[in-house]
Amino acid sequence: MPGLDGTGMFFEPLIHVLPPDIPVSVITYPRNTILSLEEHARFIAGHFPTDNVIVIAESFSGLVGLELLHLRPREVKGIIFSTAFAEPLHRKLIHGLSLIPGIESIARKLPVSLLDHLLFGPFSNKDLETLLIRGLPQIDAKCLKHRAGLIAAGYPFLDEQFEMPCLYLQAARDRVVPQKTASWFAAHFYPFECARFDAPHCLLQTRPAECSAKIVDFIKRRIYST
């Protein structure tokens, strides 16, 4: 499940290093379609490839993943969150930016070099820069702005508890999601475990091999240990 961009393209670095015996299906959110959090979740549920699904929810899609579990789909056997959050995030900043006319289009037109630095920092490389160049034109500006509003609202059922194997992948250099965010997931999932990496918010893109190893280990121990 993709991040704020909704394209799923930015999973490529992780997909390239996952073992071939783990089938992967990247679900892309529909373009030019404004969806509520529940509609995002139902869209995902309608595109499950099998009856045994391990969900990977990145950043914004952490909210969608939580809403998905709220629907109690029988297909989901475990969930992995990467730099995700449940509580409202950056409300004042998002509200302020939303008042700027055409802000969603302006964001898409920022220089690739600037976005590359902001997203990947010292972990950037040519492949990630190329991925940005390919991915930016695919992002729907209106959907981007709407999802930002969902981020500011957060998950609506913050008291909910989940008996579901959960792995939280945390980025030590994350400047988007506070480090304390992982504690909410620890308090609301059982069994729960957290893995921390030296990386910026775009963790799956900058530390794909390390994340892949942890994901595979989690799946083998927690989901298919029997």
Q: How far is it, in rounded angstroms, from Cα 94 to Cα 59?
A: 16
Q: Is residue 82 part of a domain?
A: yes
Q: Is residue 206 part of a domain?
A: yes
* Most confident range, picked from 98-107, 130-139, 147-156: 147-156
192: confidence class by pLDDT, cuts 50, 70, 90:
very high
For tokens 């972990």, what's the residue? 123
Q: Is residue 3 part of a domain?
A: no
Which residues have CB under 8 Å from 212's CB, separation 6+?
Answer: 14, 17, 18, 19
Q: Is residue 195 part of a domain?
A: yes
Q: What is the largest CA-CA distance in the chain?
A: 55
Q: Is residue 133 part of a domain?
A: yes
Q: How far is it, in rounded angstroms, from Cα 43 to Cα 151?
A: 18
Q: The CATH number of the domain where 117 resides is what?
A: 3.40.50.1820
Q: Is residue 4 part of a domain?
A: no
Query: Higher model confidence: residue 120 or residue 111?
Result: 120
Integer CA distances (angstroms), 55 to 14, 136, 174, 184, 203, in order: 14, 24, 22, 18, 16
Number of domain units in the chain: 1
Integer CA distances (angstroms), 141 to 45, 110, 144, 205, in order: 24, 13, 5, 22
The pLDDT of residue 116 = 80
Q: Is the dihedral of CA 123, 125, 128, 133 positive or negative?
A: positive
Question: What would the pLDDT profile of 95-112 be if each residue is shown by its tens digit?
Answer: 555 544 555 555 556 677
Whole-model pTM?
0.91
Q: What percent of the chain has pLDDT over 70?
A: 90
The pLDDT of residue 99 = 47
Q: Is residue 2 part of a domain?
A: no
Q: How far is it, in rounded angstroms, from Cα 29 to Cα 143?
A: 10
Question: What would the pLDDT profile of 12-64 be if each residue is shown by its tens digit?
Answer: 999 999 999 999 999 999 988 999 999 999 999 999 987 889 999 999 999 99
Structural domain harbouring 197: 9-223
Q: Report the DSSP beta bridge partners of residue 194.
A: 168
